Amino acid sequence: MSARPEILVVGSVALDSVRTPYGEAVEALGGSASYFSLSASQFAPVSMVAVVGEDFPVEHRALFESRGVDLSGLETAPGRTFRWRGEYGPELAHAHTLETQLNVFSTFHPRLQDEHRACPYVFLANIDPELQLEVLQQMRGPQLTLSDTMNYWIARKPDLVLEVLRRVDVALLNEEEARALAGESLLVRAADRLLEQGAKSVIIKKGEHGALFRTADERFITPAFPVDDIRDPTGAGDSFAGGFLGWVARCGRTGGGMVQQALACGTTMASLAIEDFSPRRLAETGSDEIARRVALLHRMVHFDLEPLF
Amino acid sequence: MSARPEILVVGSVALDSVRTPYGEAVEALGGSASYFSLSASQFAPVSMVAVVGEDFPVEHRALFESRGVDLSGLETAPGRTFRWRGEYGPELAHAHTLETQLNVFSTFHPRLQDEHRACPYVFLANIDPELQLEVLQQMRGPQLTLSDTMNYWIARKPDLVLEVLRRVDVALLNEEEARALAGESLLVRAADRLLEQGAKSVIIKKGEHGALFRTADERFITPAFPVDDIRDPTGAGDSFAGGFLGWVARCGRTGGGMVQQALACGTTMASLAIEDFSPRRLAETGSDEIARRVALLHRMVHFDLEPLF
């Protein structure tokens, strides 16, 4: 894939040390931009804007390049790469952070090259909402912008998180984040409230319960692709974002059921990410397996509506 | 509806006193057989086998009769009707039982008349699994049997609960019950485990996350019908069961997408039940509104699968 980049991701590249009840990984490739780009690049060409330190392993760079990810925006700064250490309990629901070393990431300010500014599709990963707004200001009329966030920013900069939510086309949140940002415990109401606060559309990720998409007029849902053997849930959300935006970029439109299929692509890519540590499975899985999983999701929900009465 | 009864329900009829953050009801009509029969009778004729005391209000009997529910199996025993008193916290997730007076229900043994034994569709509500097995033994080759249970029986009589699960066509459980009975915290695995333990098919009800249907070969899901104003979640599960079995009885088959539509009918009837206290809304809602909700659920999941690559 040496085609003109279609999708821009601005986020983190990290070295993750993760322990789950099913194993552990030490200084494995991690970070939102890593999971996203390896997921989205299954569907369309991706450019990454991020920062690593001088110690960033060459084999991780090679993994991105093997998927055609454009690394011209991956800055190498003096110092060490962002590191995260965490663990999950038996429910695999929440990561417990043991250590965060921001390192070179602490002074990261995304500077977009001309080619990046022209990308039609943008994913703003869960970085500081101030940086997300900086990126949006640099873009030249993108077709679709997708943002993520995290509880850390919702607690510290709720107004800026809401400002980003109003400026993007689709705001991606997990259940907890949606409840916290909206101040509503029922998800249906939380989604209503986020739309009232100015979001054009929201996707709420619900883990094993799938994801829902809401605008003022539309509601779509996808079940989660059923995975029996979850090894590490890290990166599921960014992999979801990659499948979602990847398919939107690939088919070039959001009408006529394409949002629903994008949701199915999102949960499919998330299912691959969580079957192993690090995002390697996202890169290594063939298109046949991805298509098989999306078709299974379609079969899980499809029926021809018969008149009831 | 004076047609030959199609659906038999064996369960409880109670007087419920419920408090939620949105109001309260005192000695309102309750019980699994009440919610189920008022739900299912929107789709097909229902016979109820249950017991009430001499104090059972005549207006509740009239409500059942207004929906054509056959009460020839509703025994009136000396003493008081089963009473339940409970409350829900702000999340509306769990009922906290304040008082249970079994009264006439404590010695209930379902005795089926000839006409009841011939019903093609049976719902065994969440009564003692011993009674559920007694009912199954009395039936004459039903087409489809559906069972419910509750944590109370899973904790006390797990082997009998599993015996029922193996004997019915479809076993209905909520998330917590499925996790407890299977001893697995991930729902995907819990469903696998229940099938390994001999269930032919299971439906797991997930509240605001909808419901999933599993057999060894098939997986279907329905989202929950989105309700903004939940007033009282009591009876949601039995109303779901009524919509599910009601539609199966009405269309007379389970192939060709009919299970998926039955799941949509189930969650639609549950959405009506929770919008108000007591099952009154199940009886009063017109078929137009039911059909509108099922069609909305269909639109939430429907898309024409486009080739991915």
User: What does the DSSP assignment read for A225-278?
Assistant: PP-S-----TTHHHHHHHHHHHHHHHH---TTTHHHHHHHHHHHHHHHHHTSSS
- Count of CB atoms situated within 10 Å of the CB of A261: 24
pLDDT band, residue A93 (cuts 50/70/90)? confident
Phi, then psi, of A38 in degrees rounded to 5: -70, -30
What pLDDT score was predicted for residue B1? Answer: 43
Range B255-283 average pLDDT: 95
Cβ neighbourhood burial of B183 (10 Å; 0-12, 13-18, 19+) = exposed
**How many A-B residue pairs are in contact by the CB < 8 A criterion?**
119
pTM: 0.94
Q: Report the C-alpha dihedral over residues B272, B32, B122, B298, rounded to 10 degrees.
A: 20
Token pair recorded at residue B236 = 């949601």
Candidates B258, B308, B309: best to mutate against A (most CBs of A within 10 A) is: B308
Q: What is the pLDDT of residues B170-184, one digit of tens each?
A: 999 999 999 999 999
Round the average pLDDT of chain B to a whole number and report it. 95
d(CA A268, CA A242) in angstroms, rounded, equals 10
Q: What is the pLDDT of residues B281-306, one digit of tens each?
A: 999 999 999 999 999 999 999 999 99
What pLDDT score was predicted for residue A37? Answer: 98
d(CA B305, CA A257) in angstroms, rounded, equals 8
Question: Which one of B220, B223, B298 has the shortest CB-CB distance to A305?
Answer: B298
Nearest CA in chain A to B191: A228
pLDDT band, residue A255 (cuts 50/70/90)? confident
Candidates B269, B274, B285, B301: best to mutate against A (most CBs of A within 10 A) is: B301
Is residue B203 within 8 angstroms of chain A, CB to CB?
no
Question: Which one of B90, B219, B258 has the shortest CB-CB distance to A185?
Answer: B90
Question: B33: which DSSP letter?
Answer: H
CB contact under 8 Å between A308 and B302, yes or no, is no
d(CA A26, CA A44) in angstroms, rounded, equals 30
Q: What is the pLDDT of residues A123-151, one digit of tens each?
A: 999 999 999 999 999 999 999 999 999 99
Q: What is the pLDDT of residues B97-148, one digit of tens each?
A: 999 999 999 999 999 999 999 999 999 999 999 999 999 999 999 999 999 9
Q: What is the pLDDT of residues B73-104, one digit of tens each?
A: 999 999 999 999 999 988 787 889 999 999 99
Token pair recorded at residue B202 = 């299971």
Alpha-carbon dihedral sign for residues A28, A32, A34, A39 = positive
pLDDT band, residue A228 (cuts 50/70/90)? confident
